[in-house]
Structure 1
Amino acid sequence: MISGSIVALVTPMHSDGSIDWQALSRLIDWHVEQGTDGIVAVGTTGESATLAMDEHKMVIKACVDQVAGRMKVIAGTGANSTAEAIELTEVAREVGADACLLVTPYYNKPTQEGLYQHYMAIANAVAIPQILYNVPGRTACDMLNATTIRLAEHPNIIAIKDATGDMARGKELIDAVGGKLDVLSGDDATAAELMLLGGKGNISVTANIAPAAMKAVCVAAMAGDRAATELADAPLRILHERLFVESNPIPVKWAMFAMGLMEDGIRLPLTPLSDTAQPQVTEALKQTGLLD
């Protein structure tokens, strides 16, 4: 089962934009030490949109090799081409990933039937656990609950990352697919509440810089302890907000640079955090004790 605190891991880069493989290894070891339950390699936060196909495959393999069974590895293998998504998902299976995360096809705006057929084609083609990913704010493609419920019947589809931030909709989905499909949050600001409603974990941006604290939120929320959950989540709320002052992963990569976790590399068309936004992120890091 894929559950708990899962980090949507950044892809660390040198200042020239090349992948920093040593920093990637260090980050993975740090997350193991901090108690993170799993990583997503090359998802949105990992800049999947700007990595070449060969790089994408290499990062997935590097993560699997470095983790070495110490936590779950979920490979981001979604694409707006079904054939490309199948190719990436097969590579993830071959190198030993535990599961794949498949974002709804962005830009080409398929119908609900198109979404159903897209995911069914991947699930039928590759024998690996698969996690659906609905983030309409980024993709301009919203997979309705009715479509997810249909897909929950496929044995290779095990979960959905729900990044809608809509608690009523999330609760409706949890109630409808319980026992067939796990619902994971993909929205740090509402993750605690979704887990209290029955969600099985959180795929988190905040966990990149506060992994142990994010793990504590997940443990409390999945145990149904509202008081403990709110106490654990309250200090992180400024991070949940400020890490999205500009498009993800711009703020979190800058925060990690400021904390000395990696260099400041990011790839165009994304740019480093603006001078006007840097004080907001710095304040959040100081308030949460991540910077002096």
Structure 2
Amino acid sequence: MANRNPVLLVPLITPLLDDGSIDGTQLSAIAREVMEQGARGVVLFGTLGEGQSFSVTERKAALEALVASGCAPQAIMVGIGAAALPDVVELAKHALGLGCFRQLLLPPFFFKGISTEGLEDFIVQAIDSIDNDQLRLTLYDIPSVVSVSIERRVIRSLIDRYGPIIAGIKDSVPDAAHVRDSVTDFPELDVFVGNEIFLPEAIALGAAGAISGLGNIAPAQMARIASSETKADDPVFQQMCTLYAAIARYPVVPAVKALAGWRMKSDKLAVVRPPLRTFDLAAAPDLIEVLQELHRRQLPAVLRAEEARTGR
């Protein structure tokens, strides 16, 4: 049965040092801060984390730094997606060795138009090569980015074959009916919503919560929205929808990193790795205005704590 106590997981942005390498210290600080604000855990090297812009070596080192900083392995879901099967296996085994059993698998994304059989072969060979019954895999369905869909018959076949190893789905398909079907078709899985505007309906049906990029810029608000209390007419949720629509007008990953930098008073957090380009918030003052309004709609106690922490 899916999780009936929905939670927020934050797919962390990846902060960079001046030389373009990953800032493990700042990454750990962001993880700690969003969990203090209400997130139940974090996701490393998802889409918002620019996962495919970093090498296997870099990703392993960043995870090691995060765990060494005191972040509990059970609070980390590790993105192991890669175009090459051996890279997926290496990342997975490394994470398992650190006690990070929850992992997020992106479909292989270089070849387009692959068959459902080819996709299933890839996932089967990955799981068989990882060869660890403690693995808890969340399948990442985001065809708008990778141009590869995870069809329901593949998910069902994998569940039948591997049981609890197939633990969840992150549904980032921009279609409410698709998200609804993911929750209702796979009640045995933890289904996480990627597009936050679908959260109230999905949670009412039994979704596990959200893997929300907006958690980088409004963690307290997103933790509230990802709870079972939220209704579609909730003022905080409505303002979040306004922010969601505003960000969608811009390159999403650079815009979210820039807003995270604004929230945490660090312009360096806005820097992205090529081929992405760093986003200039001065060109989009509407984003800050909408985010400020979302912050103002917090519960009073949370708002006072945030204002005391940031001085905003």
TM-score w.r.t. length of structure 2 = 0.84
Structure 1 gap ranges (5+): none
C-alpha distance in 2 between matches for 1:90 and 1:278: 42
What percentage of aligned pairs have identical amino acids?
Answer: 26
**239-248 vs 96-105, which deviates more?**
239-248
With over 3 angstroms needed to count, the CA separation of the structure-2 counterparts of 1:120 and 1:29, relative to structure 1, is same
Letter in 1 for 2:210: N
1:39 offset after TM fit, Å? 0.5
SS at match of 1:256: helix
Query: CA–CA distance in 1 between the matches of 2:166 and 2:73?
Result: 23
Output aligned runs, 1:252-291, within 5 Å: 252-262=256-266, 263=268, 264-274=270-280, 277-289=283-295
| Equivalent residue letter for 2:187 | G
- Equivalent position amino acid for 2:145 in 1: R
Residue 47 of structure 2 aligns with an amino acid whose one-letter code is T
Could you say which structure has the higher helix fraction? 2
* Contact 2:259 2:281 (8 Å CA) reproduced: no
Residues in 2 aligned to 1:261 and 1:41: alpha-carbon distance in whole angstroms: 22
One-letter code of the match for 1:191? L
Closer/same/farther in 2, CA of residues 70 and 31 from structure 1, 3 Å limit: farther
Match of 1:183 in 2: 191
Task: Determine the structure 2 residue equivalent to 1:114.
Answer: 118
Change (3 A) 1:58 1:70: closer
Shift of 1:185: 0.8
Aligned length: 287
Matched, 1:133 2:140: yes
Structure 1 CA distance, aligned partners of 2:171 and 2:157? 16
Query: Is the CA contact (8 Å cut-off) linking 1:6 and 1:202 kept in structure 2?
Result: yes
Deviations 1:32-57 (A, max 9, x none): 21121110011111111211221111
8 Å Cα contact 2:194/2:212 also seen in 1: yes
Partner of 2:16: 13
Residue in structure 2 matched with residue 149 of structure 1 by the alignment:
156
For 1:168, the aligned partner's letter is A
Match for residue 231 of structure 2 among 218, 223, 226:
226
Q: CA offset at residue 59 of structure 1?
A: 1.3
Matches within 5 A, 1:19-30: 19-30=22-33
Partner of 2:301 in structure 1? none
What's the offset of the Cα at 1:219? 1.3
Describe the shift of the 1:59–1:243 C-alpha distance in structure 2 as closer, same or farther (beyond 3 A). Answer: farther
Matched, 1:240 2:244: yes
Paired residues of 1:34 and 1:211 also in contact (CA < 8 A)? yes
Distance in 2, Cα, partners of 1:71 & 1:287 = 33
CA–CA distance in structure 1, aligned partners of residues 77 and 220 of structure 2? 19
Cα displacement (A) at 1:67:
4.4
- Partner Cα distance (2:79, 2:251) in 1: 19
C-alpha distance in 1, partners of 2:73/2:84? Answer: 32
Q: Deviations over 1:143-163 (max 9, x none)?
A: 122222222222211001010
- The Cα shift of 1:274 comes to 4.4
RMSD: 2.3
Q: 1:268 to 1:70 in 2, by over 3 A?
A: closer
Q: Which residue of 2 aligns with 1:161?
A: 170
Corresponding residue number in structure 1 for 2:300? none
**2:307 corresponding residue in structure 1:** none
CA displacement at 1:288 relative to structure 2: 2.1
Give 1:238 deviation, angstroms.
2.3
* Partners of 1:61 and 1:239 in 2: CA distance: 33
Q: Deviations over 1:147-192 (max 9, x none)?
A: 222222222110010100222222223222212x221111122233
Contact 1:149 1:176 in 2 (8 A): no
- TM-score between the two structures when normalised by the length of structure 1: 0.89
| Equivalent of residue 204 in structure 2, options 177, 182, 196 | 196
Report the Cα offset of residue 241 of structure 1.
Answer: 2.2
Gapped regions of structure 2 (runs ≥ 5):
297-309
SS in 2 for 1:46: coil
Alpha-carbon distance between aligned partners in 1 of 2:184 and 2:218, rounded to the nearest angstrom: 30
- 1:273 alignment partner, SS class: coil
User: What per-residue deviation string (whole Å, max 9, x for no partner) do you get for residues 107-126 of structure 1?
Assistant: 31221111111112222232
SS in 2 for 1:49: helix
Measure the CA separation in 1 of the matches of 2:201 and 2:69.
32
